[in-house]
Amino acid sequence: MSYANTVLVTGATGYIGGRLVGRLLNAGYRVRCLTRSPKKLDHRPWFGHQDVEIMAGDAGSATELERAMQGCFAAYYLIHSMQAAGADYGHRDRELARIFVRAADRSDLQRIVYLGGLGETGSGLSKHLRSRREVEHILAECKIPVTVFRAAMIIGSGSASFEILRYLVERLPVMITPKWVVTRVQPIAVRNALYYLVKCLEVKATRGRTFDIGGPDVVTYAQLIQCMAEVRGLRRRWIIPIPLLSPGLSSIWIHLVTPISKEMARPLAEGLRNEVLCRNREAEDLMPQRLFKIREAMDRAFQNLNSHKVETAWSAAGPMPGDPDWSGGKIFEDQYKIDIQANPQAVFKAVCRIGGGHGWYGASFLWRLRGAIDRLFGGPGLRRGRRHPEIVAYGEALDFWRVTDVENPKRLVLHAEMKVPGRAQLRFDIETLEENSSRLIQTARFVPRGLFGLLYWYAVWPFHYWVFGSMLKGIRRSAER
C-alpha cells in the first residue's frame, strides 16, 4: 500500500487507536496499522477492509517503523507503555518516542499527530502527565510538523478512566477520598476526541500546532461522581475527603473496588491532583463540531455497554503474555472430557460465553472467592469482565484470563493473568463425533514456580473435579439448548 492519502496508525490495538482506524476509513483515508500482535485486530469491524493494511512489527524498532512509514503522508503516535512497562513506563515512553523520531526523520511523512494529556506546565505535574508532556517535547524535535492534542478524561464505553468512575459510583454509596475530589476537570466524549484526530488532517492550519481539547463542562471530580450516580439512577453518593489519603493508598483502594490494577491505578490517581482544563478554544474554532456535555456522553457510553457495542476496551491493550514453554520442566495437567449432542459450532458458542456477567457455568462461589483473593494479592480478579457477552477475540480479557488462541469452532485457549506461583493455561478443544454430536476436551496446565508453586497445585487440584466438572455440564446444557 503506497498512496498519497495513506496514514500510519501506531497503537491500533489500543483504546483510541482501535476506534480511530474506522473513522479514518469513513473519511476516505487508507490506513496502515503497525502492531506486534496482528491477531488482536482480527475481530475489529474494519478488519479485512480493502483500504486497511495490517503490518506486523515493533514500534521499538526504527527499522520496522521506517518500513511502516513508507508511502504514508501522516502518522499517528498513540503509544503509551503504562500497562506494559509498569513503574518504569516513563523511561520506556521516552525511549519509544526517540526511536519514532529517528525513523520519521528518515521518512517522507508530512505530519505527525499525537494525543497527549492536559495539565499545567511546571514541577507540580504528576508522573503520568509529565511523561505525556515529555513525549510531546521529544516528538517536537522531529523535522516533521507535529499536531498535538491534549485531552483530560475521555468519556466512552471501555475507557480506563470511565470504568474507574463507574465502578466507584456503582459499588460505593459512601466514599472516603483524597482532597483531589475538589480538583477541576474538563472531560471530553470519545467521539469528540476522535473527530479532532481525523479532521486535523484536512485542516492545514493545525500543522505544527498544539491544541487543548475538552467538552463544554468544567466540573470537580466530586461533581463528576454525582453526575455518574444520576445517570445510573442511584442516590447521591456521600463523599468524605481526607487530606492525608495518599495516592499510594488511593491506588490500592481503586484496585480493590474497580477492574484497574494498582500498578495502573497509581499514576492515574496521582494525576487527579492536577487541574486539567483547556486554556484555549483554538481546536473548536478550526474544527467546529457539537461537543457533548458530560451527561450526554455518559448516556451514550452506557447505551453502547447495554447493547454490547463496545468497539474497544482498555483491558485488551498492552503486550500479549508469552505462551509457556510446555516442553520443559515439571508440568501438571488435568483433563476432562464430555460428549455433547450438538454440533461443534453450538459447543464453541457455549464455551465462548464463559466469564463476565454470565459466569463460569458452575461453582460460582469458588470462582468469586478465587477472584476476591486475586484482587487482594494485586491481580485483576473477576472485575475486568469481557467486552462482549458471547464473542471472544485474540488478546481480549475474560476476567482474570487472556485469550491467547481462538479458532472457531475448534479451540479456545486462555492464559492465566491471576496472581499464581507459576504459569497456568486453560484450553478447550472441540472434536466432531457425528453430524450433530461433539466432544469437548478441557485441559488445565500448570508449570509451578518453586516450592510454593507445587504446594499451590496440590491445594487447588482437589477442587478441579467439582469446578471443571460443573463447568462442562453447564456448557453441555447450554449447547444442547
* Residue 88, pLDDT above cutoff 60: yes
Question: What are the b/e assignments for 100-127, b being 16+ CB within 10 Å?
Answer: bbebbeebebebbbbbbbbbeeeeebbb
Please enumerate in sequence order all residues whose Cβ is within 8 A of that of 330, keeping only pairs 6 or more positions apart, or say none: 447, 448, 454
Please tell me the predicted confidence (pLDDT) of residue 195: 97
pLDDT band at 197 (very low <50, low <70, confident <90, very high): very high
Of 446, 444, 447, 445, nearest to 472 (Cα)? 444
* Residue 377, pLDDT above cutoff 90: no
Rounded Cα distance between 116 and 69, Å, is: 21
Please enumerate in sequence order all residues whose Cβ is within 8 A of that of 422, keeping only pairs 6 or more positions apart, or say none: 446, 447, 448, 449, 453, 456, 457
Entry field: residues in the chain: 481
Rounded Cα distance between 229 and 245, Å, is: 23
Contact 89, 131 (CB under 8 A): yes
Q: Which residue has the higher pLDDT, 387 or 31?
A: 31
Q: What rounded mean pLDDT belongs to the chain?
A: 87
Mean pLDDT of 40-60: 91
Percent of the chain, pLDDT > 90? 49
pLDDT band at 122 (very low <50, low <70, confident <90, very high): low
* Residue 375, pLDDT above cutoff 90: no
Mean pLDDT of 261-281: 75
pLDDT band at 325 (very low <50, low <70, confident <90, very high): low
Please enumerate in sequence order all residues whose Cβ is within 8 A of that of 20, keeping only pairs 6 or more positions apart, or say none: 9, 12, 76, 78, 194, 197, 198
Radius of gyration in angstroms for the set of CA atoms belonging to the chain, rounded to a whole number? 23
Q: Which of 129-138, 280-289, 327-336, 353-362 has the highest mean pLDDT?
A: 280-289
* Residue 137, pLDDT above cutoff 80: yes
Mean pLDDT of 183-188: 92
Q: State pLDDT tens for residues 410-422.
A: 999 999 988 889 8
Contact 391, 383 (CB under 8 A): no
pLDDT band at 242 (very low <50, low <70, confident <90, very high): confident
Q: How far, CA to CA in Å, does 26 sit from each of 33, 54, 69?
A: 16, 17, 21
Of 73-87, 232-246, 298-312, 327-341, the poorest mean pLDDT is in 73-87
Please tell me the predicted confidence (pLDDT) of residue 236: 93
Rounded Cα distance between 413 and 403, Å, is: 6
Q: Which residue has the higher pLDDT, 234 or 263?
A: 234
Please tell me the predicted confidence (pLDDT) of residue 90: 79
Please report how many Cα atoms fall inside a 13 Å half-sphere around the Cα of residue 379, on the Cβ side. Answer: 19
Q: Which domains does the chain have, with CATH numbers?
A: 6-315 (3.40.50.720), 332-480 (3.30.530.20)
Q: Is residue 164 within a helix (H) or strand (E), and if so which, with residue range?
A: helix 160-171
* Residue 341, pLDDT above cutoff 90: yes
Please tell me the predicted confidence (pLDDT) of residue 257: 74
DSSP per residue, 10-37: E-TTSHHHHHHHHHHHHTT-EEEEEES-
* Residue 350, pLDDT above cutoff 90: yes
Mean pLDDT of 276-299: 94
Mean pLDDT of 60-77: 94
Q: C-alpha cell of 434?
A: 457425528
Please tell me the predicted confidence (pLDDT) of residue 411: 93
pLDDT band at 2 (very low <50, low <70, confident <90, very high): very low
Mean pLDDT of 31-55: 91
Please enumerate in sequence order all residues whose Cβ is within 8 A of that of 365, keeping only pairs 6 or more positions apart, or say none: none
Rounded Cα distance between 126 and 384, Å, is: 26
Beta strands in 174-237 (DSSP E): 174-177, 184-185, 188-189, 210-213, 219-220
* Residue 121, pLDDT above cutoff 70: no
Contact 474, 338 (CB under 8 A): no
* Residue 320, pLDDT above cutoff 70: no
Helices (H), 287-443: 294-306, 344-351, 364-376
Of 189-203, 412-426, 446-460, the poorest mean pLDDT is in 446-460
Using DSSP bridges, classify how beta strands 30-35 and 6-10 pair: parallel, antiparallel or unpaired: parallel
**Phi and psi for 123 in degrees, rounded to 5?**
-75, -10
Rounded Cα distance between 113 and 292, Å, is: 23
CB-count exposure of residue 405 (10 Å: 0-12, 13-18, 19+):
middle
Please tell me the predicted confidence (pLDDT) of residue 318: 62
Mean pLDDT of 122-127: 63
pLDDT band at 280 (very low <50, low <70, confident <90, very high): confident
Please tell me the predicted confidence (pLDDT) of residue 85: 44
* Residue 304, pLDDT above cutoff 70: yes
Q: How far, CA to CA in Å, does 138 sit from each of 94, 130, 267, 354?
A: 7, 12, 21, 44
